[in-house]
Chain A
Amino acid sequence: MKGGGKKIWFHSTRFSIISTIASKELIDFVRDWRTLLAVILVPLLLFPLIFIALPLFLQGEADELQQAELTVQIQTQNGQQPPEALLNEITDSDMSFVIINLEIPDAVNLSTPSAATDNLRDAAESGEYHCILRLRETNSNASESWDYAIISDSTQELSKEAKQRTLHAVLAWEQIVINNTLEESNLTRQEALDPIHWDGDQTISDIASAGERAAFGFSMIVPLVVALWTATSAIQPSIDMTAGERERGTLEALLTTPVLRVDLLFGKWMAVAIIAMISVLLQITGLLLAIEFLASGFLTMPEVSIVGWLLFIASVLLFAIFTVAIELAVAIRAKSVKEAGSTLAPMILLFLGPTLFSQFVNLEGIELWWFIMPIFNVCLGMREALIGVHDPVHIAAWALSSLLYALAAVIWASRQFNREDLVESIS
C-alpha cells in the first residue's frame, strides 16, 4: 500500500515536472509576438484570405482588363470584305477594328506568323491594335464558310484579352452562320444539334445533398492543408526549444537539474504538439468561418457528422504526435538554429509527397495496406472521416499504425535527448 502510494506520488511529480516544462515553453513562445503571429494569426486568416481577398483581387484585375479599349486588325485576302455579321459581333464585344487586305497564298496556313504579323508586339504596345484576325473564304455547302486564325502575343495581357474577345465574336458569328445554314435546309437548331437531350434539372438528379457534396470537396483539400500545416507549424517551435536552447546555452543549465531527459522531451513535445494543434484548429475554424460568412454565395457548408469530426481530430492528433516527435529528434541533433532549419525545411518534402498523392487515391475498394503506410494512413483517415465513411477496419488500421509510428518516433526522439553532446553548443 505504501509502495503504491509512493508510485502515484512519483508519477504525479513527473507529470508536474512535464507540465512545468510545457508551461514554460508555451509562455516563452507566446511572449515572442513574431512566432505567435506566424503560428496563430496566419492560419486563422489563411482561408478567409484565399476565399475573399484572392477572388476580389482576381475580379478587380478582370474588371480592369474589361475596361481596356482594344482593337483587332482584320486581315482579308484578294479584296474580300469581312462579313457584316462578324463586324457587328466584334463591335458588340467592345472592340474596334481596322481592316487591311493582303495577298496570302492559299497554300500558306493562316496561323503561321509572317511579315504581315511581325510588328504585332510594337502595335500592341503603341495601342494601334492588339491582335490580328486572319480570314479566308472557302467553298462548302454551308451558307458561307471561312477559315480563320487569331494571331496574338500570350505574354501580353492586353493581347490575350483581345484574342479572347475576338474569339468570342467569331464563335457568336459562327452560330449565326450555323442557324442560317439550318434554316436553308428547313431544320431547327434543336433537331440538328441536340437530338438526344437531358430532361429536367441536372443538379437535382444527384442524390448527394449539397452539404455532402461540399464535404466531398472538403475532403480533397483539407487533409492536404492540415497535414502540411501540422508539419510546418511545428518546425519553428521544435527548433527553438531544442537547437535554439543548445545555441543559447540554456540547455546545459537545464540538464543539470534532476529532470529526467525523457521528461524534458515529453514537456517540450507537449508544448509543440499544443501549438501545432491550436494552429491547425484555428486554420479549420478560419476555413469554416470563411465558408459560412464570406463565401456563402458560392460555397456550401460541408455536412460532417460528430463522429466524422471526432475521427478527423483524432487523426490530426496522432499525426501531430508523430510529426512533432520526429521534428524534435532531428532538431535536437543540430548544434545551431541554422543547422536545424536547413535539415528540417527539406524534410517537409517527405510530408508533401504522401499528403499530395493521398488526395488522388480512390477510396472505393481501396486496399487495406494504404491505411498502414505512414502519412498516407492519416491523410486517408481524414478523407474517410470527412466524407462519412466510418469503416471500423480502416479506422483500426490507421489509428493503430499511427500510434505505432508515433511510439517509434518518440523512442527515437528520447534516444536523441539522451545524447551526451547535448551540452555542447557552437557558442
Chain B
Amino acid sequence: MNGDLLVTHQLCKRFGEIQALSDVNISFKKGEVVGLVGGNGAGKTTLLRLLSGLYSPTSGRVELFLDDGTTAPVENIRQKLGVVPESTGLYHRFSAWENIRYHSRLHGIDDGRAWIRTERFAKALDFKSNLHRPTRGFSKGMRQKTAIIRALVHGPEVLLLDEPTAGLDVTSARMVRSLVRQLGDEAGTVIYSTHHLAEAERVCDRIVIIHNGTLRASGSPQELMSDTTTDSLEDAYVALTFDVARTDPPPDDRGIISRWWSNVFTGNSRLKQPSIKSAKDSDLNKDDSTLKVESGRLYSNIHSQNSKNIQSTTPPSLQNTPSIGGEEE
C-alpha cells in the first residue's frame, strides 16, 4: 500500500479508433498534490474522468484504498471524491449556495453541516459575499470558486480539478493555487490537470507528464530535470515529449445519415484529414499577411515558396513544442 490512496493498473481507454490512454500505471499518495501536465489531446481529461469513475476503462482498473486497507473500484465510492470539471457546471438560475447545497444533499450531507463547511471555504477564497447571488453573470473566476467549494463541501479524500485556473485572472488563479496548496498541506490529496508548467512547479509535490495518451514521467520538478539532465522544467518537458503530438480527430459518433448529410455539404469525409497540401501553390505564394479560405478550409499563412516542403519550413525546435498555456483541450 505504501500510503497509496488512488492507484491505476494498466489503464487503457479507447474511443472507437482512437487510443486515448495506453497502459497508465500510476499511484497517488495521501496528502499529495499532483499536477497532470500535457498538451492538447494528451489525455489529461480522459485520465481525470477515469479517475473519477465517469468513464469505464477499456482495460485495466482504478482503485481507491479504503481505511481498512482494502481497495474498491472508484465508481463505487464517489463519495470520497470531489471533482471540479473544466466546465464548472453551475445552474444559472440558482445561487452559488443553492448549487453547493444541491450537490451536498446528493452526497447525503445535511444542510447545516454543508453551510458551515461552505462558509469556511468561501472565506478562504474571499467569496462569502457572493454565496447568495445567482450564478448567472458570474465571472469565470467566481464560477470556478463556486465549483471548488461544491467539490469540497462533502469532505472528499481526493480532489480532482480539470484546468482549475484556465481563464482566471491573476488574483483568482493565485487564490485557487493557494487553496490547493493549503489542502495539500492539510493532508488532502489533490490531482489537477494544467497546461502551465510554471504553475505545476509552484503548487505540486509531483508532476505527471502525459503525452499522446501515455505516461512519460512522474516525479518532483527536480527529479524530472535530473532524469533528463536539463536545467529547466520546460526543457525537461520538451525532452520527455520528443515525438510530435498526435492530431487524431475526435471520434465521430454521429449516425450514418448525419455523416452522409454533412458530407453532402462539406464535400469531404470527417475522417479525412485536412491537408495543408491541398492548398494551391499560388494561394500560398500570393499573399503572406492574411488567412485564406478555400473549399471551406482555413489555411494559415505560411512563408513558403514551395508548398511541397511546407513541413520543413517550420523550425524543428517548434515541431515538438507542446502547447503550454495554449487553447483548452
Chain A interface (Cβ < 8 Å from any Cβ of B): 13, 17, 20-21, 24, 27-28, 31-32, 248-259, 420-421, 423, 425, 427
Q: Which candidate, B51-59, B169-177, B219-227, B265-273, is the interface stretch facing chain A?
A: B51-59
Query: In the complex, which of the residues B79, B89, B91, B105 contacts A28, with contact meaning CB atoms closer than 8 Å?
Result: B91
Determine if B103 and A249 form an interchain contact, defined as CB atoms under 8 angstroms apart: no
Query: In the complex, which of the residues B86, B87, B106 contacts A259, with contact meaning CB atoms closer than 8 Å?
Result: B106
Determine if A252 and B87 form an interchain contact, defined as CB atoms under 8 angstroms apart: yes
Determine if B105 and A255 form an interchain contact, defined as CB atoms under 8 angstroms apart: no
- Known: A258-B108, A423-B49; 8 extra A-B contacts, CB below 8 A, are A27-B94, A249-B85, A252-B54, A252-B87, A255-B54, A258-B78, A423-B85, A427-B87
Nearest first, the 6 A-B pairs at minimum CB distance are: A249-B87, A253-B89, A256-B83, A250-B89, A257-B106, A258-B78
Determine if A256 and B54 form an interchain contact, defined as CB atoms under 8 angstroms apart: yes
Determine if A252 and B89 form an interchain contact, defined as CB atoms under 8 angstroms apart: yes
The winner among A20, A251, A256 for most chain B CB atoms within 10 A is: A256
A21 to B106, CA, bound (A): 8
Secondary structure at chain A's binding surface: helix, strand, loop or mixed? Answer: helix
Q: Which chain B positions have C-beta within 8 A of A252?
A: 54, 85, 87, 89
- Chain B residues 36-59 with CB under 8 Å of chain A are 49, 52-56
Query: In the complex, which of the residues A17, A250, A258 contacts B79, with contact meaning CB atoms closer than 8 Å?
Result: A258
- Chain B residues 93-148 with CB under 8 Å of chain A are 93-94, 102-103, 105-108, 147
A253 to B153, CA, bound (A): 14
Is residue B27 within 8 Å, beta carbon to beta carbon, of the partner chain? no
B257 → A minimal CB distance (Å): 12
Q: Which chain A positions have C-beta within 8 A of B93?
A: 28, 31-32
Determine if B253 and A257 form an interchain contact, defined as CB atoms under 8 angstroms apart: no
Determine if B54 and A423 form an interchain contact, defined as CB atoms under 8 angstroms apart: yes
Chain B interface residue bracket vs A: 20 to 34
Determine if A20 and B106 form an interchain contact, defined as CB atoms under 8 angstroms apart: yes
A255 to B49, CA, bound (A): 10
Q: Which chain B positions have C-beta within 8 A of A249?
A: 85-89
A259 to B56, CA, bound (A): 16
| Given A28-B91, A250-B91, A420-B56, residue A257 in contact with residue B85 (CB < 8 A) | no
A255 to B103, CA, bound (A): 10
Q: Which chain B positions have C-beta within 8 A of A27?
A: 94
A258 to B64, CA, bound (A): 15
A108 to B319, CA, bound (A): 92
Secondary structure at chain B's binding surface: helix, strand, loop or mixed? Answer: loop
Determine if B52 and A256 form an interchain contact, defined as CB atoms under 8 angstroms apart: yes
Determine if A421 and B253 form an interchain contact, defined as CB atoms under 8 angstroms apart: yes
A249 to B147, CA, bound (A): 12
Q: Which chain A positions have C-beta within 8 A of B276?
A: none
Determine if B87 and A256 form an interchain contact, defined as CB atoms under 8 angstroms apart: no
Q: Which chain A positions have C-beta within 8 A of B89?
A: 248-254
Residue of A nearest to B55 (CB): A420
Determine if B106 and A258 form an interchain contact, defined as CB atoms under 8 angstroms apart: yes
A247 → B minimal CB distance (Å): 10
B58 → A minimal CB distance (Å): 11
Q: Which chain B positions have C-beta within 8 A of A17?
A: 105-106
Q: Which chain B positions have C-beta within 8 A of A257?
A: 78, 103, 106-107
Q: Which chain A positions have C-beta within 8 A of B49?
A: 423
A421 to B13, CA, bound (A): 13
| Given A24-B102, A28-B93, A420-B55, residue A256 in contact with residue B88 (CB < 8 A) | no
A13 to B109, CA, bound (A): 12
The winner among A20, A257, A423, A425 for most chain B CB atoms within 10 A is: A257
Q: Which chain A positions have C-beta within 8 A of B34?
A: none
A28 to B86, CA, bound (A): 23
Q: Which chain A positions have C-beta within 8 A of B238?
A: none
Interface pairs (23), CB distance under 8 Å? A17-B105, A20-B105, A28-B93, A31-B93, A249-B88, A250-B90, A251-B89, A252-B54, A252-B89, A253-B87, A253-B89, A253-B150, A255-B54, A256-B54, A257-B78, A258-B107, A258-B108, A420-B55, A421-B253, A423-B54, A423-B55, A423-B85, A425-B87
Is residue B209 within 8 Å, beta carbon to beta carbon, of the partner chain? no
Is residue B24 within 8 Å, beta carbon to beta carbon, of the partner chain? no
Q: Which chain B positions have C-beta within 8 A of A24?
A: 91, 102
The winner among B78, B106, B150 for most chain A CB atoms within 10 A is: B106
- Chain B residues 160-206 with CB under 8 Å of chain A are none
| Given A20-B105, A28-B93, residue A253 in contact with residue B79 (CB < 8 A) | no
Is residue B149 within 8 Å, beta carbon to beta carbon, of the partner chain? no
Q: Which chain A positions have C-beta within 8 A of B5?
A: none
Q: Which chain A positions have C-beta within 8 A of B77?
A: 258
A12 → B minimal CB distance (Å): 12
Q: Which chain A positions have C-beta within 8 A of B78?
A: 256-258
Q: Which chain B positions have C-beta within 8 A of A258?
A: 77-79, 106-108
A302 to B285, CA, bound (A): 82
A254 to B77, CA, bound (A): 15
Residue of A nearest to B49 (CB): A423
The winner among B87, B108, B147, B150 for most chain A CB atoms within 10 A is: B87
Determine if A253 and B106 form an interchain contact, defined as CB atoms under 8 angstroms apart: no
Determine if B94 and A253 form an interchain contact, defined as CB atoms under 8 angstroms apart: no
Determine if B88 and A253 form an interchain contact, defined as CB atoms under 8 angstroms apart: yes
A53 to B89, CA, bound (A): 45
Is residue B81 within 8 Å, beta carbon to beta carbon, of the partner chain? yes
Residue of A nearest to B76 (CB): A258
Q: Which chain A positions have C-beta within 8 A of B107?
A: 257-258
B147 → A minimal CB distance (Å): 7
A421 to B53, CA, bound (A): 13
Residue of A nearest to B94 (CB): A28
A425 to B94, CA, bound (A): 21
The winner among B56, B88, B105, B150 for most chain A CB atoms within 10 A is: B105
Q: Which chain A positions have C-beta within 8 A of B147?
A: 253
